[in-house]
Amino acid sequence: MEDKACHEILEWLTTVNYATQQEDFLKRRQDGTGKWLLGTDKFQQWINNENKNILCTGIPGAGKTILTAIVIENLEEKCKYDRSVGLAYIYCNFRRHNEQSVDDVLASLIKQLCQRMLSLPEDIKSLYAQHKKRQTRPKLDELSESLSVLLGHFSRIFIVVDALDEYSSRDEALRRLLSELFRLQSNSTVSIFATSRHSPAIQSAFEGCLQQEISAAAEDVRAYLEGHISQLSRVVLRNDELQKEIVNAITKTVNGMFLLAQLHLDSLEGKLSVTAIRRALKQLPSGTDAYNIAYEEAMERINGKTAGEKELAFQIIAWITCARKPLKITELQHGLAVEIEETEFDTENLPDVQDMEAACAGLVTVDEKSHIIRLVHHTAQEYFERTQTQWFPRAHYDMAKVCMAYLLYCLQSGAGLRTAGYPFARYSRHYWAHHFARALAKPGLARGLLLDKKKVVLCAQDLVTHLGIRKAFQLAVQVPELVTEAHLAAFFGSENALRELLEAGYALNSLDATNRSPLSWAAENGHEEATRFLIKQGLVIDHKDRWGLTPLALAANKGNPEVMSLLLSNGASPDLKGNAGRTPLMLGCQKGH
């Protein structure tokens, strides 16, 4: 089979490439560290097939992911010249749930195992041909069957899954994944290596299997500190005894938390005297709350930077924390360079990558292979999600403004969305509405967003035209003329925004060019709370638009039963016909609702 055709089939299965993550993790490993796990009795039992499964658990920041990368590297070396041994791996990530369904995982396992074979199996070609012709995706049972058949081509298969605790917030989804993985072992020699934070549910699922506790070895922590101590001030570099004090103090404090060693070392940057360093060493946080304290201290260090550096750091961390997907460095650079009031994008306003990293006091890192910029650890993401209102309460407001401005840069040509040279275009198109809706829900921010009606309307029209109505919200097909701030608030279903407009003296009963009130917009788009609020304000419940459609008819046409029930309970007439002679019930039935 031609390489090009083979590549096309494998990319059709999934475009996710865990190999880039594997490379990035290995590059972050300190030379000579992590080997201890490979020599443990339990790992050796697993590798020698004395037990099919091993689960490695540990506290956050213990180094589980880097150890997983080391295990994968070890397995790759073992089966490099033996194609009868299969290897596939998954790095679960709480920010990538949209590409890590059970179907996605099985598709990735199939792809990785196929890549180890000299030619593509016929059943995989057949699966591709069937679905390519119909323009469909294979169902879970098809993927499961194909994977089972594929396993028969190997004498032994290693499957590695990192961070099972990050797979899904829903227990049922995790159970389905584990059920599929364990089912693979019924008719083949599949060996599973998995890591997780301590989780009763996950540990129970691996009952009877090998279980290994993960904790950063003291010698590994020392090796890391000795390898990175050169980042500190000259007063440290000239003093061998002080270097030993630093290594000993941090190693003693972190208690098996590799990440904490990194954060503590970062906290010493900028300390310019022996006294300042020794004072800081005495105050190093430890214990269960150590990460929170370390992150807070890092933010305080950022607060002490110049105004420009501080602003840049806060913007970067806010974007990474609140973005809907992991951002590549070029995407974030363009987002940060946006000047809201300008009509053209200025490439000379792009921040430098090294300046971006330096501004953030060790809290962010850029993966060299995937070019993703991210927070240094999952615990950092959790910390900033918890403290978002403390550090950047207007994040979604600012992000919505940036996305709308950037999207309009890219739509100016009139020839569709410009993406060449505009790496932030797709993110802006797909997610401006998410940030907009989140900002509308924040007290005091709604009017600032809604006053720029022209931008909002243009972006909304692009959303419904190019992304499909149900991609982000159930939006109306047209965004007509004469739209008011109240229409836009109803469009997004924001009761908070409607209340703010009412308190500011805005009329909520204005009509757009199609004779629709905000109540019609809220009802059509399935926004129950906004509909209830507008009814309470006395808007005409059976008001007809240009086509004779009432809010009830619009809700029925879109299949919004909760809104329909609300309207009916408040006196909406189910018998009023539109200009085409159809009642709300007839419209709903016609659309199959």
pLDDT digits (tens, 9 = 90+) for 487-513: 888 888 888 889 888 888 888 888 888
Closest CA to 176 of 144, 151, 137: 144
pLDDT at 356 (0 to 100): 95
Mean pLDDT of 288-304: 90
Asked if pLDDT for residue 469 goes beyond 60, the answer is no
What are phi and psi for residue 366, nearest 5 degrees?
-110, 120
Pairwise CA distance, residues 351 & 355, whole Å: 7
Higher pLDDT among residues 1 and 368, named by residue: 368
Mean pLDDT of 516-533: 92
Q: Greater confidence, 2 or 456?
A: 456
Any idea which of 252-266, 442-456, 508-522 has the lowest mean pLDDT? 442-456
Provide mean pLDDT across the span 479-490.
74
- The number of beta carbons lying within 10 Å of the beta carbon of residue 451 is 11
Residue 476 has pLDDT above 80, yes or no: no
Summarize pLDDT for 119-130 with one digit per residue, the tens. Answer: 888 889 989 888
By CB atoms closer than 10 A (0-12, 13-18, 19+), residue 382 is middle
Largest Cα–Cα separation, the chain? 90
Cα(90)–Cα(267) distance, rounded to whole angstroms? 33
Considering only CA atoms, which of 29, 164, 112, 100 is closest in space to residue 326? 100
**In the predicted structure, residue 479 carries a pLDDT above the cut 60:** no
- State pLDDT tens for residues 41-53: 999 999 998 889 9
Spatial distance between the Cα atoms of 221 and 99, rounded to a whole number of angstroms: 34
Residue type, position 386, single letter:
R
Asked if 559 and 588 touch (Cβ cutoff 8 Å), the reply is yes
How far is residue 507 from each of residues 115, 143, 189, 448, 540, measured CA to CA in Å?
62, 55, 69, 17, 13
Strand 327-328, strand 372-375: pairing: antiparallel
**Which are the contacts of 387, defined by CB distance < 8 A and separation ≥ 6?**
none
Output the pLDDT for position 593: 55
pLDDT at 108: 96
Instruction: Report pLDDT digits (tens) over 205-226.
Output: 999 999 999 988 899 999 999 9
* Gap between the Cα atoms of 377 and 381, Å rounded: 7
Of 46-60, 180-194, 250-264, 432-446, least confident by mean pLDDT is 432-446
Say how many C-beta atoms besides its own lie within 10 A of residue 385's C-beta. 10
Tell me, what's the pLDDT at 79? Answer: 87
- Residue 280 falls in which region: left (phi positive, over 0), alpha (psi -120 to 50) or beta: alpha
DSSP summary character for residue 443: T
Cβ-contact 554, 593 below 8 angstroms: no
Average of per-residue pLDDT across 279-302:
90
Tell me, what's the pLDDT at 186? 87
Strand partners, 1: none
- Does residue 287 or residue 385 have the better pLDDT? 385
Whose tokens are 């295990």? That residue is: 71
The tokens describing 230, both together, are: 């050169």
Q: Which long-range contacts (CB under 8 A, 24 or more apart) does 245-252 make?
A: 245/278, 245/281, 246/277, 246/281, 247/222, 249/281, 249/284, 250/221, 250/225, 250/281, 250/284, 251/218, 251/221, 251/222, 251/225
Residue 472 has pLDDT above 50, yes or no: no
**Residue 264, both tokens:** 């503590």
Please state, rounded to an integer, the average pLDDT across all residues of the chain.
88
Confidence of residue 480 (pLDDT cuts 50, 70, 90): low
Structure tokens at 125: 């070609």
Please give the backbone phi and psi of residue 58, each rounded to the nearest 5 degrees, phi first: -170, 165
Gap between the Cα atoms of 67 and 54, Å rounded: 14
pLDDT tens for residues 85-127? 999 999 998 888 878 899 999 999 999 999 998 888 888 998 9
The predicted structure's pLDDT at residue 180:
93
- Residue 537, Cα to own-chain centre: how many angstroms? 39
Higher pLDDT, 39 or 453: 39
Give me the DSSP letters along 193-242. Answer: EEEESS-HHHHHHTTTSEEEEE---HHHHHHHHHHHGGGS-HHHHT-HHH
Tell me the pLDDT tens digit for each residue of 583-592: 887 887 776 5
Look up residue 493 and give its amino acid.
Answer: G
447 pLDDT more than 80: no
354 DSSP 8-state letter: H
Least confident of 78-82, 433-437, 457-461: 457-461
Residue 363 has pLDDT above 60, yes or no: yes
Looking at the DSSP bridge assignments, the partners of residue 54 are: 193, 210
Phi, psi of 342 (to 5 degrees): -85, 145
Residue 471 pLDDT > 80? no
The rounded distance, in Å, linking the Cα atoms of 589 and 26 is 57
- One-letter amino acid at 515 equals N
The packing angle between helices 395-411 and 453-466, to 10°, is 70
| Residues paired with residue 146 on neighbouring β-strands, in sequence order | none
Q: State what percent of residues in the chain have pLDDT above 70.
A: 95
Residue 104: predicted pLDDT:
94
Q: What is the mean pLDDT of the segment spanning 156-169?
A: 92
- Confidence at residue 474, expressed as pLDDT on a 0 to 100 scale: 38
Cα–Cα dist 28/5, whole Å: 35
Q: Is the pLDDT of residue 475 over 70?
A: no
Q: Which pairing describes strands 364-366 and 156-162: parallel, antiparallel, or unpaired?
A: unpaired
Q: Give start and end residues of each alpha helix (H) in 338-484.
A: 353-359, 378-386, 388-391, 395-411, 425-440, 446-450, 453-466
| Residue 482 predicted with pLDDT over 80 | no
Residue type at position 297? E
Task: In whole angstroms, give the CA distance from residue 405 to residue 347.
Answer: 15
